[in-house]
Structures are given as structure tokens and as C-alpha cells.
Structure 1
Amino acid sequence: MSKKSFRQALNEAMRQEMERDPTVIMMGEDIAGGMGAKGEQDAWGDVLGASKGLLPKFGRERIYDTPISESAFIGAAAGAAINGLRPVAQLMFVDFFGVCGDQIINQMAKFRYMFGGKATTPVVIRTLFGAGLRAASQHSQCLYPVFTHIPGLKVVIPSSPYEAKGLMIQSIRDDDPVIFFEHKAMYADTDEVPDESYTIPLGKANVSRRGTDVTIVAIGRMVKFSIQAAEALAKENIKCTVIDPRTTSPLDTATILESVAQTGRLVIVDEASPRCNVATDISAMVAQSAFKSLKAPIRMVTPPHTPVPFAGELEDLYVPNPARIQAVVSEVVRYH
């Protein structure tokens, strides 16, 4: 086991799966680069370099640079999947899903259901999301609630390099379409990651930290921030459980409800816009199923209901941070 960045963990997962299974292919904009040009034929490796180095190893028969037409190559990925391949397609930014929404929502998500269980669609759509890199409103959104809403899709949101590798490998092996969300601001994060191949099951939450006073459910990058807040709160003798759902569809409701039954308090940290996000979904689920366990109102830590600002000072205020999480948890613990 060695230290690897989020970027390296993703690269290793895709490489190991392509070595293991010849039906795994990749496609997307700039995932290789250099097509028809002199010089290096692996010039880019997708927008943040996660597929760098795969082209020389596997060639253009399995690594496909595509035109700037998300509807075309996401549709091609769906077609390839139902014909025996396992495509990993990169939708460069999740903000662009509007131009290929039909291929995802009305096609690949519904193939298994509409063909009576006879069709499988083992496709992974990798996509970048999240604020923090000054990428402005059209490249910084957290749209995983949109895909969580759609039956037939699995939605994966890793919170660390270790999670990224294991969840990516499992996603590639899964027989259903998976939307795999990679937070742009986490690519340089490092973690101990095994060199060998391993999987993390979809639909099974990870309890990152255990405590008896408050349950914090956090998604993606917010897991790291919540752990930082929990560490600070521990110095005030406030003990927090931090749960990383890993996947929002399927959602491990049992782990969340079990923790709330023990702590009696729930704070949900979600970087998505506050209306109809995953935090509201979990809040409703807990209110319906564990109301009698609650000692305080459920609280949510989210951005405001506004587009992601470009100005650095405003973007920093927009994104939930450890200090905000800590403040909300402290309020919940004091509630009587």
C-alpha cells in the first residue's frame, strides 16, 4: 500500500480493469489527445489528467477520443454496453448533461426495465462536479440529486482516493449504468491506497468516525470537512458519528437510521443546492422512519440557493466548510 492522489487512484483503477477485462473501453473528449497531430499521442488524459498514460498501453482500439458531442458519444456508450462492451465514458463536467440527458435518462436508465430484465447496460459515466476551483456557474454544480431521482441509475460519489479506486472498479464491473462523480477540488488529495485491485460494494455506507452525540451524514468532499469539524468538536467533548453514504442511489438507509437511533441528532452536509437535494431526501426519510429517536430538529448544511459564484471570496462563502459544520452541530447538541 502506498500514498496515491485521487487522480492516481482513478487512473490505477481504470488501468487494472482494462488489463483484467478486454471488453472495457474508454471514450470522451480529450481523454487521449494527439489524434492526427505530430508529437505526443497521449497529450491530455481528460480535463484533469486521470486517464493520462492509458492510450500508449491500450491503443486507440480501446481509447476513443470523441468529437465535442456529448449526445453522440454518451449514446454510443449506451449502445456499446448493451452489445457486450463495458464503456467508461467521460462527461467532462456534469453541467453538460443537458445535451445528453435523453441518452442517460430515457435510454440507458430504462433498458433493463423496458426489456423485461433481458438487457444489461454496464456503462460508467465519469463526470466532474463541485465548486472550489473558480470555474464559475457553468462548471461547478453538484447535480447528483438529478441522477439520484432517476430509477435505473446508480450514483457514486467517492470521498477519498481509497474510496475512488474501490468504487470505480466496482462500478466498471456493475451491470447497470453508473454515474460516477469526481470532485474537481479533490484530485490532489492523497490517501493510503492498495496497489492491488479491490472493490467497495455499491449501496453500503462507510462509517468514517463513531460518536454518541450527533450523526453527521456527508457527501463527497463534505466528508473530509465533516471529519475535520468532528475532530474540533471532540475537543469540546462532543462526539460525532460521520457517515459517508458513498452512493446516493442505492442509499444505505439502514446505516443512517441505526446511527440516528443511537445519537438522536442528525446533521446532513450536502454541497448541492438546498432545494430537493440529497440532504432533503435523507431528512424526509429519517423524519418518517426515526422521528421518535430525534432529540433535536434535523439540520442541513448546504450552499445558498444560488448559482455558484465566480468571485473567489463569494465562492468560499458559498461552499460549506468545517467551521459552518461545527457551528451547526454545536447548536443541535445544545437544543432542548
Structure 2
Amino acid sequence: MGMFKKTADSVPITSQISITSKNRSLWNYILRKRYLYLMLIPASIYFLIFNYAPMYGILIAFKDFSFKKGIWGSDWIGLENFRYMFQLDNFYSVFTNSILLSLLRILFTFPIPILLALLLNDIKSSKYQKVMQTLFYLPHFVSWVVIGGILINFLSPVSGIINILIQSFGGEPIFFLAEDKYFKPIVILTSIWKDSGWGTIIYLAAITGISSDLYEAARIDGANKLKCLRYITLPCIKSTVVIMLILRLGSIMNNGFEQIFILQNSKNLGVSEVFETYTYRLGLLGGRYSFATTVGLFTSVIGIIFLLASNKIAGKMGEEGIW
């Protein structure tokens, strides 16, 4: 039986040589790109300290957390927090609000940056193009607190300019932020106004990277602008669009705390309560940190499921996805 026993000496010499050559080629590649790897060190340290190190805090979701006892000293209660979360009466309404609002955002806000990038790319004057880019980007740098304050004043049923115009045409004033049917359109429209210009940066960069030879060859063949757009521009940026969509689906449970919280009030709570504000009210204001961590862990798992599913679908469609 000893003749069938495998030892380290029985590994073929050719395999050992190939492994050694691969290791050498890897180190040679790292040495050639050493400056790029050095540039990665600060970003790696940042993510290790602020993103990966705090992940041990998810243990709070499985414990009856107490500041006095600390994370490790708190009593272990297993899945009790999750059972409590699923038994809450308003949990499923919050879950529905979060998913529905996020899907509506994707449906209406995701295509706008692509359209803006296509329009900006078609502007011939470089000065005018830069001016328009700046105008589109500026709202991104305005705080949601400022935007929310302006919006609340604009939509005020007493002194808001919108209701003044409605009354000038003989209509009755509307308390927009107190009626459920207006909340989601307001959130989506403000999201488009604030963030669409910033999102055009990625798509505009992808369009700029398309070789001009493709357009020249198409024009020689008699293609007009629409055909160039259909057969050159859109196919060339399709992979970028797919990656951005996958990443957006991965954060489907994130609706943005600042925007929702500022526009939220007791009248529209039935449609405006999402997981960010839900965690803030029950978990942080109520001092129930275990419950807040449980909700956060649940939303993260849902986001990972959407991310993996969308990446798998992209792979079946012939796209590379994000890995």
C-alpha cells in the first residue's frame, strides 16, 4: 500500500516549476505597479478602520445590549430581536414603503443621468457645455436641510408660492406634505433635481471614452445622429449602465435618511416611514440599540440578495457585472 501513498516528493517537478514561475510573475507585476499599490494604502486603511473594523458591532443584533456591560458582556439572546421585529404590526408597512419608494426612484431617476449625459455630449460649444454641466452639478452640493426648508416654504398651504398660484386660478390651497398621494412624487422630483446632474459624470466619461473613429465610419456609411446613438453610443456605454444599475439595486433598502426625515411629518407617516427613519425612531431615540442593529442587519442582507441576483442576471445577459 505504501506505493500508493502520496507525499510532497511525488509532486511532479514541472508543477513545482510552474507554481514558482507564477509566484515570481506575480511579484514582478506588483513591483512594476508598486506606485499604484502605494496609492491604494490610504484607501485600504480607511476602509479597514471605518468599514470593516466596526462590523463586529453586528453582534449587538443577537444580544440584549447594555452600555454598562458592553458588547461582549451583554446577554446573548440569539434571534429574539429578529422575532420581535417580524412580529411588529407596522414592520411590513415600513418594508413595503422602503421597497416601493426605492423601486420608484430607480424607475424614474436612474434613466435621467443617462439622458442628460447624451444631451451634454451633443453640445458642440465647449464653453456652453461646461456652463450646463456646472448648473446640473450644483444642486448636488446643496444640503437636504436647505432644500427641505425651501420646499416646505414653497409648498406651504398658507404662504407657499405654489398654493398662491393655485388660489390665483380659483383653486383651493393644498397641504402637499400632509397628503399621502403627494409624498412619493415630491421625493422623486426632488431626487431628480438634486442628484441627476452629479450622476451624469460617470456616463459622460464613458461616452467621452468612445473612439471617434466609430462615429466617423458610421457617418461615412450614411448614419445620422439617431443611428449613431442607437448603434454606437448606447452599446458602448451599456456595460457602465449595467454596473451602475447593479450597484443601485444593491442599495435598494437605502432611501436616504436626510431627505425623508425632513419631509416627514405625522400626517404622511403612513407612506413616508422607511427603515432609516424607523431605526432612528425606535432604535436610537428609544435607546433600543439591539433593535436598531437588527433592522440595519436585515436591510443589509436584503441589499446583498438584490446585489447578487442582479449581478447573476447581468452575467446571463452577457455582461461582466461587478465581478
Larger strand proportion, structure 1 or 2?
A: 1
The verdict on a shared fold, with TM-score over 0.5 as the criterion, is no
**Higher RCO, Cα 8 Å, sep 6+:** 2
Q: Which has the higher helix share?
A: 2
- What TM-score do you get using the length of structure 2 for normalisation? 0.22
Say which one has the larger Rg.
Answer: 2
Q: TM-score, normalised by structure 1?
A: 0.21
